[in-house]
Structure 1
Amino acid sequence: MDEGAESAAGVAARPREVLRQPAFGYLWTASSIRALGGAVSGVALNVLVVSVLHATPVQISILSALGVLPYLFLGLIVGALMDRWRRQRTLVVTSIGRAIALAAIPVLMFTDTLHFWSVAIVALVLGVLILFADSATQPLVPRIVPRESLVMANARLGQSQTVADTAGPALGGALLNVLGAPLLFVFDAIFTAASAVLQARIRVDEPKPGRREPGRHVGHDIAEGMRYTYRHPTLRPLALSVHTWFLGNSIVMTMFAVFVLRQLKLQPWGYGLALAFGGVGGFLGALIAPRVGARLGAGRAIFLGRALVVAPWLALAVVPVSAASRGVALLALVAAAQFVYCLAMGIEDANDTGYRQSVAPDAIQGRMNSTIRTVNRTVFFFGALLAGLVATFLGYRLTMGIGAAIFVVAALIVAFSPLLRARHDEAPPPAE
């Protein structure tokens, strides 16, 4: 092949900007406005629970658990359903349901029927609907985006989520003072309803699944998805690595705020600023993720993210912080740690999800993703409980060190497996 032909081939192989593809454009816009509305109303919900309902610590923990419980009890079932239901239609229906649930909060407030358990019911309903939406989104993306553009698509979704998570709380705090909590929930309901309209405009060909064989039920579908995931030569180490990563993440993130605010004595405004640096790091990581994946390959890009995440937590565990060094030096350390931590996540998440979507056939996408996601949530749930015990008996610094050590194990699983050599542009290996 001559030089001109090679150049032409390179141009042809380069993925087209996914936001120019109408179906993904609608999906991305819907996800972005919903994420921003959720981040804004999340501030109102926190204020409502803490300052209006005067919830106890136990009640706050119950609300937090309600966000995870649907994944623990329904995650595998919903994943199996997503391989038999129309995913685009599921997104539309769940968005309409979420809009109704959000609109119920100001109605409860105006009718003086708002109390902790009514909020808990709304939170549980939202958690179930979000589970269905998440379970539909991941397997839908490969139906509307070419295989070579999957990493870019997930990077674009990650960027908008990062912007919403970073700017949304600040915007929500400002609007809360001006408009009050009820209107913030109304706006979020309107944003969510608008996302349903955009999702309804997505044009996608979703083939109807075949009928189940006699004697076969949803339990057989779930078992098939788990076998496929954990017998696949590259998905198995990817799943085991991300499960391990979630264990480390549950430990460090559960204790991070109390560690830096209580033991390191960072000022609250400094803590908020550090989180903002994390948002910048996450956006940058998602921005460069497609290039990193194309240059290094899927496996090495995932390994880079897994390995890079060790550094910030190890630094927080071992770097001495004396009373004299608190101030700018402490703020710089915590901000840098958050920046690197979120940068690593931005790099690995798009490559991890994109590779998963490119490997599994469409008929098992929902079950493969739900298997990994459900185990991740289960690990996080119990890891968060473990973190409190470890910090109580061993202290915060050693807890951070244990989290960093677990992140090392997650990286080593990738390093010593066939996943390390996997590339996005190669035909995926068959399941065993």
Structure 2
Amino acid sequence: MSREAPYLAVADALRARILAGEWRLGGRLPSRARLAVEYGVGRNVVQRAVDRLIAEGLLEGRAGSGTYVRAPRERLPMIRARRRGSPGHPATSVAERGRAGAWDFHTRVRVPAPAAIAWRLAATTAGSLLAGLPAGAWVDRVRKRPVLIGADLARAAVLLSVPAARWSGLLTVEWLYGTALAHGLLTVFFDVSYASYLPHLVGRARLMEANSTLSAARSATSIGGPALAGPLVGGCGPATTLLASAAGMTLSALLALAVRRREDRPARQDTRPRLRREVREGLRFVLAHPVLRATILGDAVFNLFLAMYQAMLLLFLERESGLGAAGAGLVLSGMGCGALLGALSVTGLVRRFGQGTVVWLAPLVTCPPTALIPLARTGVGLGVAAVGLAALSFGGVARVVAQTGFQQSLTPDGLLGRMNATARFVSWGVLPLGGLLGGAAGTAFGAPAALLVAAAGMTLGFLPAFLSPLRTAEREKSPACEPN
């Protein structure tokens, strides 16, 4: 092996074996671990060699399945010229070779998302849409702590099924879809239960502090989790890494089991429980309350444009900013830092400005800086872009913490599950639509323009709360803002 670039030597050897027909078209290559042993190199060297062959069109990777041989692609040189029809213009050059030209005065390539990605995204969000409202009605009938424990243990079992299927040779992409769907459904029940259990556990007077602490913990794990996941995936593989996630779910269940505060059973209704009637009752309560209606509508507007923004953000950073992987990672790290800072600061902001004011003021102040992302280039622009994303996360977390405390304090115990489920259903329900809007806007106008539109839309998320009694909650003591 060459000491200078061992991955090139491995790539040359693999290329020769592929062209010699050792593996047929569509055939699966041995695992990276096996190839590393065969060539006496590390897995990262084999990974770089395989990535090079994928870029050449000799191989293709399939998520959760492996690497396969594909038919080699014909590589045509691109010749640049200013005017269409002139000798050497790309469209003319391609047409001379008997191909249809697709170059039209720009280098933006419009590539539709593979069906596998669409199905994976649908599976991860389908749980909230399928079970969101019924889950709230069911949670209101039962004690919340057993639901938390059962959901955690069930999610751990679902995640453990992936490495088990991988080791037994049964893992398929359909298995992964089913895992994502089951995990999403269980997460709906967990999230609705914990948001409904918190007022009982800490008391309504301490909801702000409790929500702030929980949000800070989530933000810290969102920073540390990916940092730990990278080495684990690289060293152990994606399937095996899920063992760590399953262990985390099990630990969460044990911690919930250790809670000793007694939880009263919800009062039984005189009439026979009817799921449809209970769901309608929860919807009527939320939509009739001016503050709950305004906060949930503001969530819908914000999340719609946030999904649009996120759909274009990675595309912009990867293809148009020229930052590279390290620069894009630095920009994105601003989101985790901003979220943690927002969670730690929200209690002080509420004391300074008031809880209702924070709900509408946070998006008005922190969303406009996201319009700076199209300036992301190396140097000063890189820092400006990171600050813009940090501001977005800071304001988003501050708004959600202040808003969640308000929603919980305004809702009777018997309706907490349905209120939380309705809020989650609306918030998650608009995400697929926002992603579609982002893709359409990016295709029509380009990623920078789509980011600017999304930044303006997120800023408009302040309007529903601003036009509601929340704007004067602290000054006028509106009855609509009085705790239940």
Q: What TM-score, normalized by structure 1, do the two folds share? A: 0.82
Instruction: Tell me the distance in 2 between the aligned counterparts of 1:340 and 1:210.
Output: 44
The residue that corresponds to 1:378 in the other structure is 429
Name the counterpart of 1:12: none
Evaluate the alpha carbon distance shift between residue 174 and residue 197 of structure 1 in structure 2; reply closer, same or farther with a 3 A threshold. same
Equivalent residues of 1:91, 1:133 under 8 A apart: yes
Find 2:284's aligned residue among 204, 207, 227.
227
Correspondence for 2:142: 85
In the other structure, the counterpart of 2:465 is 414
Please state whether the residue corresponding to 2:259 is helix, strand or coil. Answer: coil
Contact preservation (8 Å) 1:308, 1:341: no
Q: Does 1:311 align with 2:368?
A: yes
Structure 2 CA distance for aligned equivalents of residues 102 and 328 of structure 1: 42
Deviates more, 1:150-159 or 1:82-91: 150-159
Residue 229 of structure 1 contacts residue 235 of structure 1 at CA under 8 Å; is this kept in 2? yes
Residue 236 (structure 1) shift: 1.5
Match of 1:50 in 2: 63
CA-CA distance at 1:153 after TM superposition: 1.1
Distance 2:153 2:226 in 1: 24
SS of structure 2 residue aligned to 1:67? helix
| 1:331 corresponds to 2:382 | yes
Partner of 2:265: 208
- How far did 1:398 drift? 2.3
Aligned equivalents of 2:154, 2:200: Cα separation in 1: 24
Unaligned 5+ runs, structure 2: 1-60, 69-112
Percent sequence identity is 27
1:237 aligns with 2:294: yes
Listed one character per residue, the Cα deviations across residues 198-231 of structure 1 (whole Å, up to 9, x for unaligned) are: 1112234433334445466111111111111111
Q: Deviations over 1:122-159 (max 9, x none)?
A: 11111111111011110111111122321121111111
* Residues 81/54 of structure 1: CA separation in 2 closer, same or farther (3 Å cut): farther
Residues 470, 481 of structure 2: 8 Å contact kept? no
In 2: Cα distance, 1:301 partner to 1:178 partner: 44
Q: Deviations over 1:82-121 (max 9, x none)?
A: 1112111000001111111111111111111111111111
Q: Does 1:69 align with 2:126?
A: yes
SS at match of 1:234: helix
Distance 2:371 2:239 in 1: 43
CA contact (8 A) 1:79 1:371 kept: yes
**Residue 182 (structure 1) shift:** 4.4
Bigger mean CA offset, 203-212 vs 67-76: 203-212
Partner residue, 1:255:
312
Mark the CA change 1:204 to 1:84 in structure 2 (over 3 Å): closer, same or farther. farther
Shift of 1:310: 2.2
1:287 is matched with 344
Partner of residue 400 from structure 1, selected from 442, 447, 451: 451
Quick one: which amino acid aligns to residue 134 of structure 1?
D
Label 1:181 to 1:384 Cα distance change in 2 as closer, same or farther (>3 A).
closer
Q: Which runs of 5+ in 1 are unaligned?
A: 1-47
1:42-79 per-residue CA deviation (whole Å, 9 max, x = no partner) reads xxxxxx96364469832122112111101111100001
Three-state SS of the structure 2 residue aligned to 1:422 is helix
What is the CA distance between 1:393 and its match in structure 2? 1.2
1:190 partnered with 2:247: yes
- Range with greater deviation from structure 2 (93-102 or 143-152): 143-152
Aligned counterpart for 1:361 among listed residues 399, 412, 420 = 412
Q: 2: CA distance between counterparts of 1:387 and 1:239? A: 22
Residue of structure 1 equivalent to 2:391: 340
Q: Which amino acid aligns with 1:221?
A: E
3-state DSSP class of the match of 2:265?
coil
Does the C-alpha gap of structure 1 residues 363 and 58 become closer, same or farther in structure 2, counting only changes over 3 Å? same
SS at match of 2:430: helix
2:305, 2:458 within 8 Å by CA — same for their partners in 1? Answer: yes
| Aligned counterparts of 1:139 and 1:336: Cα–Cα separation in 2 | 34
Judge conservation of contact 1:87–1:137 (CA < 8 Å) in 2.
yes
1:51/1:266 CA distance change after superposition, 3 Å: farther
Alignment-derived partner of residue 38 in structure 1: none
Q: State the shift of 1:281 in Å.
A: 1.0
Cα 1:259–1:218 change in 2 (3 A) is same
Query: Hey, what's the Cα distance between the residues in 1 that align with 2:301 and 2:245?
Result: 35
Show the counterpart of 1:170: 227
Calculate the TM-score normalised by the size of structure 2: 0.73
Greater length-normalized contact order (CA 8 Å, ≥ 6 residues apart): 1
Give the whole-Å Cα distance in 2 for the aligned partners of 1:104 and 1:216: 35
1:125 is the counterpart of 2:125: no
The whole-number CA distance in structure 1 between the counterparts of 2:196 and 2:307 is: 26
Secondary structure in structure 1 of the residue aligned to 2:244:
helix
Rounded Cα–Cα distance in structure 1 between residues aligned with 2:411 and 2:267: 18
Q: 1:352 aligns with which of 400, 403, 407?
A: 403
What RMSD, in angstroms, separates the aligned Cα atoms of the two structures? Answer: 2.4
CA distance 1:49–1:378, change in 2 (3 Å): farther
Which amino acid letter does the alignment assign opposite residue 386 of structure 1?
L
Contact 1:143 1:205 in 2 (8 A): no
* CA spacing shift, 1:428–1:200, aligned 2, 3 Å: farther
**Residue identity matched to 1:338:** L
Higher helix proportion (structure 1 or 2): 1
Call closer, same or farther: CA 1:341–1:205 in 2, change over 3 Å. Answer: same
Aligned residue pair count: 378
